[in-house]
Structure 1
Amino acid sequence: MPSHVFADHAAAQPPERGAVDALISQTRRLRGDVDAVRREAVADQGDPAGRWQRALCDLAVHQLDDLDDHLAQLRDGPPRAEGEPAAPAAHRPTDPSRPTDPRRGSLLSRVGSAEWNLLTDEASWSCELYAILGRDRAAPPLSLDELPSLVHADDQPLLTAMVTDCLVDGKPIDGEFRIVRPGGDVRQVHMMGEPVLAADGSTASMWAVLRDVSELRRSQRVLRETQESLRRRREIEQTEHRLAVELQEAVLPPWRGALRFPHNGPARLDLAAHYLPSSVGSLIGGDWFDAMELPDGQALLSVGDLTGNGVTVTSGMAMLLGALRGMAVAGAPPGRLMGWLNDLLDATAQPALGSAICCRYDPATHRLAWAQAGHPAPLLFRGGTGRALTPPSGVLLGAACGAAYEQAEEQLLPGDLLLLHTDGLVPRHDRDAATDLLLSLAPRLTEARTAQDGVRALVEEFGEAAREDDACLLIARC
């Protein structure tokens, strides 16, 4: 029975925390320096240059706050799907001057300025503001009454309300609206401003800075959509993984620990198996092991691997294993059984390739008949040594329609230990190197008193290694 495979795997690791933390520290130091400059830049309300400097400092502080947030997100990694455990929160100094709500500005683009004198009805625009609004620089600047003519019809009430609150109640302006340029291009504009008071306390003029934040808002939308897509994909992967695990556990043999055949009478075949999950990724593959006592008293032993991973592959493995059991119960010998499995896999709606070994063992005579389809040969351990059985010819299942599979026989002796396994049991080694490593364990395996002892020795040797693919092993001791 396979070991329990957790449905939730660790998310992809964020970049090196030390490097990002250093950038965050630099950003916060720079933010403090800019804040000091901003405090020094507070000038007389009637000084346009002072107001301009202060506005730029405000925007720079907003920009650095955004950078701080983005670096923190980079350090902490992508957003987690619902139900995933949250990462420990990193310590972050609290700055009461920073707004708690999402800020309006970011990614400094060209900034334009304007001032509307309420006493003389004069207006002055910077060259940058003409460019932002798409106006000809030779044209006179628009008055406050004319400015809404550039604004999208749906946003005109918002602009009117902000200007009224500024002029009547002295509230600062901080908002966004859409403008429609002469060519029909719609842009998103962020406006910040405040009233300029006369000596008697009345409102003399209103000044404002405006910038085009269209690209920023577009980037933010893309980011939100990407995050939502990532969240949905993770949820789908987790659901698929859970389904694959449940299907695999339902299909693989229900016995745990040791199994002995025949069930009734003196035991002549001692069996044990183990499933090793992949240590990377969130989906499981199509590896299987199986052992079943047949009606004639013989035993069916098989291991196999269907290429790919996920629910589709696991369901394909379930179909293949069910067919294998049915044909074995009907008395099909291993070679013919492999041929029928190949035809079945070739005819499925979801084409796939698979490797497998099918053995039929007679406990009374210790005779083993077996066939293989592109799979590692069984390893026989006897008298302190081990060897790979000579494989009969057989291509991968699903590789060629109508392929023929030869059958081989091997005479086993009491005390022999037979190992069947899938690729991936020995990680980071090709098939020949993996076979050599397994055969080097012959002294330990031949000393194993039970099949379960043999499984335990292999799991101790290879179970903790990082593996890119899952693996199965089945040990039979005569």
Structure 2
Amino acid sequence: MPRKHSPDEGDELLARLGSLTAQARRRAELQRTQVELAIALQRGMLPRDLPAAPGLHLAVRYAPANLGLNVGGDWYDAFALPDGRIGLSIGDVQGHNIEAAAFMGQVRAGLRALASVTGEPGELLARTNDLLVSLGSELFATCTFLRLDPATGVLESARAGHIPFVWATADGKSGVVDDRGGPPLGIQQGVEYPVTRHRLATGGVFVLVTDGVVEGPLLDIEDGLDQVVRLAGIAAVARLETNALAAAVIKGAENVGHDDDAAVLVVGLDSLRAPD
């Protein structure tokens, strides 16, 4: 015979369900607050203004991940160096939480501060790496730093475990930069970062991205970079604005198959003088 439940048992069950529902709501509210805090932290650390120079066109796009607590530490930056050249960086902190976003701020601030001492990309990454190692954090970051002379298009770059960037010229040529990088920042003291020299021709573009744009379960990194190469090549030949190219590249992040931070930095020049 089925057991009959008393009214008191029913009230107790409803009370327990109400308590569990309230706990779930509190956890959801806490999670939402943490995500909002991390996103606000990320956005607050990104530059509000980009440097200007005759013929120089910079465009950026940034899409934070906001699925659960999957908030990372991607960043881009662009600022004037003491010698009049332009410093450009893009990077990605390991991890997807508020700590990663905070560590991103340390890396970006360290790069800017040390750039007042040296703008040479390899030395700058080496000094930043040693600084981060000395902080004793368990996190690390990948990064590319460029030093650009907008008057001549001469550009020097160094990479710390980051994705190589893409180039395209107005005559229809495009590809992925073939250079030698070093390990990510914050892992090992005393690392050297090779410097590669490039020249951005009139009408050409360089496109820097984080892995959330080009790599995921549905897209391997080679195909993702090929997609950016195609977009950059079309944009350079058609003389599209850098903002249009940046928007098209960030749109490609929808094809990677996961929700992750995604950052894009596009550099273009439309007038040059002969280098000294």
TM-score by length of 2: 0.85
Cα distance, 1:388–1:294 mapped onto 2, change above 3 Å: same
Which of the numbers 201, 208, 218 marks the counterpart of 1:413?
201
In the alignment, the residues of structure 2 paired with residue 471 and residue 442 of structure 1 have an alpha-carbon distance, to the nearest angstrom, of 17
In the alignment, the residues of structure 1 paired with residue 173 and residue 223 of structure 2 have an alpha-carbon distance, to the nearest angstrom, of 17
In the alignment, the residues of structure 2 paired with residue 394 and residue 441 of structure 1 have an alpha-carbon distance, to the nearest angstrom, of 27
Cα distance, 1:371–1:381 mapped onto 2, change above 3 Å: same
* Counterpart residue number, 2:230: 440
SS of match in other structure, 2:264? strand
* Counterpart residue number, 2:182: 394
Contact kept in structure 2, 1:274 and 1:472, CA below 8 Å: yes
* Counterpart residue number, 2:89: 302
The question of 1:470 aligning with 2:230 is answered no
Cα distance, 1:218–1:431 mapped onto 2, change above 3 Å: same
Alpha-carbon deviation of 1:378?
Answer: 1.3
Contact kept in structure 2, 1:272 and 1:452, CA below 8 Å: yes
SS of match in other structure, 2:27? helix
In the alignment, the residues of structure 2 paired with residue 301 and residue 380 of structure 1 have an alpha-carbon distance, to the nearest angstrom, of 15
Aligned residues: 264
Contact kept in structure 1, 2:118 and 2:124, CA below 8 Å: no
* Counterpart residue number, 1:30: none
Q: Deviations over 1:190-221 (max 9, x none)?
A: 6xxxxxxxxxxxxxxxxxxxxxx9xx969975
Q: Which has the higher contact order (CA 8 A, sep 6+)?
A: 2
Alpha-carbon deviation of 1:228?
Answer: 4.4
In the alignment, the residues of structure 2 paired with residue 393 and residue 228 of structure 1 have an alpha-carbon distance, to the nearest angstrom, of 51
Gapped regions of structure 1 (runs ≥ 5): 1-52, 60-104, 106-173, 177-189, 191-212
* Counterpart residue number, 1:358: 145
Letter in 1 for 2:235: L
Cα distance, 1:425–1:448 mapped onto 2, change above 3 Å: farther
SS of match in other structure, 1:237? helix
TM-score by length of 1: 0.51
SS of match in other structure, 1:394? coil
In the alignment, the residues of structure 1 paired with residue 165 and residue 80 of structure 2 have an alpha-carbon distance, to the nearest angstrom, of 19
* Counterpart residue number, 2:274: none
Alpha-carbon deviation of 1:402?
Answer: 2.1
Contact kept in structure 2, 1:372 and 1:393, CA below 8 Å: yes
Contact kept in structure 2, 1:444 and 1:457, CA below 8 Å: no
Contact kept in structure 2, 1:356 and 1:375, CA below 8 Å: yes
Cα distance, 1:260–1:270 mapped onto 2, change above 3 Å: farther
Which of the numbers 435, 442, 452 marks the counterpart of 2:243?
452
SS of match in other structure, 1:315? helix
Contact kept in structure 2, 1:448 and 1:454, CA below 8 Å: no
Letter in 1 for 2:155: L
In the alignment, the residues of structure 1 paired with residue 186 and residue 14 of structure 2 have an alpha-carbon distance, to the nearest angstrom, of 47
Contact kept in structure 1, 2:166 and 2:176, CA below 8 Å: yes
In the alignment, the residues of structure 2 paired with residue 224 and residue 251 of structure 1 have an alpha-carbon distance, to the nearest angstrom, of 41
* Counterpart residue number, 2:64: 277
In the alignment, the residues of structure 1 paired with residue 172 and residue 93 of structure 2 have an alpha-carbon distance, to the nearest angstrom, of 33
